[in-house]
Amino acid sequence: MTTNQASWEERVFRKQRECFNKIPLEWRVPDDLLSTFKKPMSEYKHDFIRANLIRRSGILTARELKITENYTVRELTTELAKGALTSAEVTLAYCKRAAVAQQLVGCLTETMFPEALERAQYLDSLRAQGNLAGPLHGLPVSIKDNFHYKGTEATIGMVAFMDEASKETSPLVDILLRLGAVIYVKTNVPQTMMTSEAQNNVFGRTLNPWNTAINPGGSSGGEGALIALRGSPLGVGTDIGGSIRIPALCCGTYGFRPSASRVPNGKMRACNTPGMRFILSVAGPLCLDLEGIQLFFETLFAAQPALYDSTVLDIPWRKLDALPPKKKLRIGVIPEHPAFPLHPPVRRTLTSAITLLKAAGHDLIPLSTAETLIMELNEVAMHLFGLDQAAISHVVAANEPVAPAILHIGTQVERLRSFHKSTISPDPSGLADSMGKFTILNARRAELRDKYRTLWRKYGLDVCIAPPAQSTAVRHDGFGLAPYTIFLNCLDYPSVVIPYGKVDEVDKGRKFELRHNQVGPGYDYDLLKGAPCAVQLFTTTLRDEECLQIAKMVNDCLNGERQVHTCFLRGRYN
């Protein structure tokens, strides 16, 4: 072991000890609660949600359990505004629940419990005087680690960024505070924030609370795991290739990727070269009900975010006319791409959703592989991401090991290139000039976006439905590429993931095997049984309002009374 290796390991040890010591002694999970679970937990299948471990920890009072389990986001804000709930008690309940969640699945990075409780008391004093700080008055909100929050660190799981306290707060977080929110925790991410595995050398691995042997998604994986355990009513993540939607899929939550430049995304920690952002990252919400996502956007845009962040387009959130109850939607169906085959539960989930939507009277229009351009858009995206090697350079410079999930993606990319002939002319792989590559790729992306515009008009589509991924959550470090989300980042189309069903007995015995000209994660029914499933909806650029409105209609059709939030309350997980 070299001196440098010892140095980064010692720094990480100190950081992890510091984080653990911030959890009050009375919030520590009893050792005997976890003693019956096999270790390491990432290698064994443990379901912390159905096992009710948060309740069994005995750390939350009956009232705190009610606060964290019996309210939607909108209901919480209503009760806080009325004074039926105080910000202090709501914040304390969520701080305690987040602390327990951290000890179970390792979903947090920074915790600001004392500061959050102090702010909550201030908000209660405002309320006592008949004033509210804003529409989110007293609501605890969790944020992904790449957001700056003054006085805390934003390491994004990179040794290179340790020991640097943020000197300012990111504009989006500042707006949330102006709206009355209470920021109390930051959540874990993957090394480089470019994989679907929330694991890094600074904070370790985040586990999926539905099954500790499978991944929670990424890069907003800490948010997904925390929200699944109801350790946060509303979380804010970011998405550059599926980083909101994949954790939503893996952890059974809702997640919305808005159009680029609609939600403030400036002054955040990033590991790319400044100015080299070819596909824009976007910030967006995750929570357990679509109404919470609606509330996030309504309140955010009412605050005129363009006044606080120059990365934002000054476009208000449009109030749409209500859809007629019997409105017939024209829904395009994104097909399974031959190179990116779907796991049996994913194919079944999509087929089931299509059947229900047809039965409800909607028009489902099958689209072809040639029309939907999944491979072509992924090829452009992968080349664009490859133009900037700053992230991996930070890892190498800090002398920390490269995360296994990053190496796995590299292997999959090489496999894909071994059988896929480039559709870009000239092939940018042979060019040494980065600007020349970017010019070619930008022209190709514009061409593909125009083809999608033509496709949309040709069929008169309202929305498209697609799988969020080839798989559900899978064994740790095995997720790999994200072809069914990245193509939408390349198009810059708003999209939402809706939880729908799970891997169950009907999937048993269905075979899955990758051919020589296919890429994807492995399939293991016994491992994945019980994992959440989902569908993905998307509309065209800047039609975020329509995307969310249609998502509500589709969600009601698919889930009916079995809403994710309600099912959690009633223990109806099957």
Residues marked as catalytic: 144, 219, 243
Give the span between the Cα atoms of 279 and 527, in whole angstroms: 34
* CA dihedral (434, 437, 439, 444) positive or negative: negative
**Which amino acid, 249?**
L
Is 240 labeled as ligand-binding?
A: yes
Contact 375, 337 (CB under 8 A): yes
Q: What DSSP character marks residue 23? A: S
Contact 357, 364 (CB under 8 A): yes
Is 241 labeled as ligand-binding?
A: yes
Contact 219, 359 (CB under 8 A): no
Give the span between the Cα atoms of 534 and 249, in whole angstroms: 6
**Tokens matching residue 50:** 């159905």
Strands 235-239 and 254-257 come out as unpaired
Phi, psi of 339 (to 5 degrees): -80, -20
Of 503, 534, 479, 573, whose CA–CA distance to 215 is shortest? Answer: 479
**Tokens matching residue 396:** 């190498």
The Cα angle at residue 281 between residues 459 and 320, in degrees rounded to 5 = 45
Residue 364 CB neighbour total at 10 angstroms = 15
3-state secondary structure of 537: strand
Q: Which helix (H) or strand (E) holds 7?
A: helix 3-21
Strands 463-466 and 363-366 come out as unpaired
Residue recorded with tokens 């040709």 = 458
Strands 254-257 and 495-502 come out as antiparallel
Contacts with 479 (C-beta within 8 Å, 6 or more apart), sequence order: 195, 196, 197, 215, 217, 246, 405, 408, 469, 471, 473, 521
**Which amino acid, 152?**
T
Is 87 labeled as ligand-binding?
A: no
Of 345, 339, 359, whose CA–CA distance to 515 is shortest? Answer: 339
3-state secondary structure of 285: strand
Residue recorded with tokens 């083809």 = 451
Binding positions: 193, 219, 240-243
